[in-house]
Amino acid sequence: MDGRRLDELRPLKLEVGILDKADGSAYIEHGKNKILAAVYGPREAHPKHIALADRAVVRCRYHMAPFSTDERKSPAPSRRELELSKVIRESLEPAVMSEYFPRATIDLFIEVLQADAGTRCAGITAASLALADAGIPMRELVAACAAGKIDGKVVLDLSDIEDKQGDADLPVAYMPKSNVIGLLQMDGSLTEDEFKQALDLATDACRRIYDMQREALRQKYHVARDETETEVAEVHA
């Protein structure tokens, strides 16, 4: 609708480490979405009884600011926010090596400052970076993007207007290195073939977003390399 190609992402901007007090943080602008992710952890488990003996408890709170949507949203957590907190946690926790920190917690906060469809995906993309920024050991980064259907065509990354008029919405969180999916939801109407098309569109987009995530980390932690060490070491047995 906005002149994009069917498989084109909305403009996406990522920034790492923008908060001072949080152990890790990241900010994402995706379309008109403006979302902040922050991580505290690993830290002491409070209250003690929630702690697990062999790994850290990962806690996730997805929340939308009252001014983030067209109609003011009540600050109290809605059922949708509770469900999204759960599925977002379930998409990131597989990547976190929580067994490094038994009896501790890793707390993840996602605040949607402005919403424009695809907030859970943008939130996951930012949260991944926030976890990495906090120095929490992870198997890899998690990228997320939604595909959908509008006007009978399978397309990528619906905006809010498109989502409201669209026929299907398929948010996906994907780890490109391992080729696995940590979040997958769908609502609308898709045939089996349309679904397969949409899934492929989404995972391809996630690969592109993954590259942007790595670039964002590089930008934050750009290191001046020592001039003397430029050779790649190769070992042959």
Partner 1 sequence: MFLLEFDCEFELERLTIHAENKQLVGPGELLAEGPYFAGENTYREGTKVFSARVGLAEVIGNKLVVVPIKGAYIPRLDDIVLGRVTDIGMSGWQVDIGAPYPAMLPASETPLQHGRDSVRRDLGHIYGVGDLMIAQVIAFDRTRDPLLTTRGRGLGKVTSGHVARIAPAKIPRIIGKKGSMITMLKKETGTDIIPGQNGVILVTGRNPDNESAAAEAIYMIEREAHTTGLTDRVKAMIVERMKGKVVG
Partner 2 sequence: MSATHQLSPVAKLEQKAVHDLIVKGKRLDERGPLDYRSITIMMGTVEKANGSAYVYLGKTKVLAGVKIQTGTPFEDTPNEGILTVNAEFVPMASPTFEAGPPDEDSIELARVVDRGIRESKAIDLKKLCVQPGKKVFVVFVDLYILDHDGNLIDAAGMAALGALISAKMREFDVKDGEVTYKDKTMPLPILDYPVPITSVKIDGSIVLDPCLEEEQVTSCRLTVTTGKDDRICAMQKGGLGVFTPDEIKKIVSTAISKSRDLRQRVLSKVN
Is there binding between residue 54 and partner 1 (CB under 8 A)? yes
Is there binding between residue 72 and partner 1 (CB under 8 A)? no
For partner 2, which residue of 59, 103, 207, 220 counts as binding (CB under 8 A)?
59
Taking Cα atoms as reference points, which of 111, 116, 65 lies closest to residue 88?
Answer: 111
For partner 1, which residue of 138, 155, 168, 181 counts as binding (CB under 8 A)?
138
Q: Return the amino acid letter for 75.
A: P
Is there binding between residue 181 and partner 2 (CB under 8 A)? yes
Report how far apart, in Å, the C-alpha atoms of 32 and of each of 122, 127, 175 are: 11, 18, 24
Is there binding between residue 92 and partner 1 (CB under 8 A)? no
Is there binding between residue 135 and partner 1 (CB under 8 A)? yes
Q: Which of partner 2, partner 1, none does residue 221 bind (CB under 5 to 8 Å by kind)?
A: partner 1
Report how far apart, in Å, the C-alpha atoms of 2 and of each of 10, 42, 146, 179, 218 are: 9, 42, 16, 31, 31
Residue 210: φ, ψ to 5°:
-55, -45
Which runs of consecutive H residues, i.e. helices, occur in 77-171? 79-92, 119-133, 160-165
If the CB atoms of residues 5 and 225 are measured against partner 1, the closer one turns out to be: 225
Question: What's the min distance (Å) between Cβ of 65 and partner 1?
Answer: 27
For partner 1, which residue of 24, 31, 94, 123 counts as binding (CB under 8 A)?
24
Q: Contact at 8 Å (CB) between 34 and 20?
A: no
Is there binding between residue 69 and partner 2 (CB under 8 A)? no
Give strand pairing partners of 29.
13, 34
Is there binding between residue 212 and partner 1 (CB under 8 A)? no
Judged by the rule CB under 8 A, the positions of this chain that interact with partner 2 are 50, 52-53, 55-61, 79-80, 82-83, 85-90, 93-94, 98, 105, 107, 170, 175, 178-192, 195-196, 199-200, 203
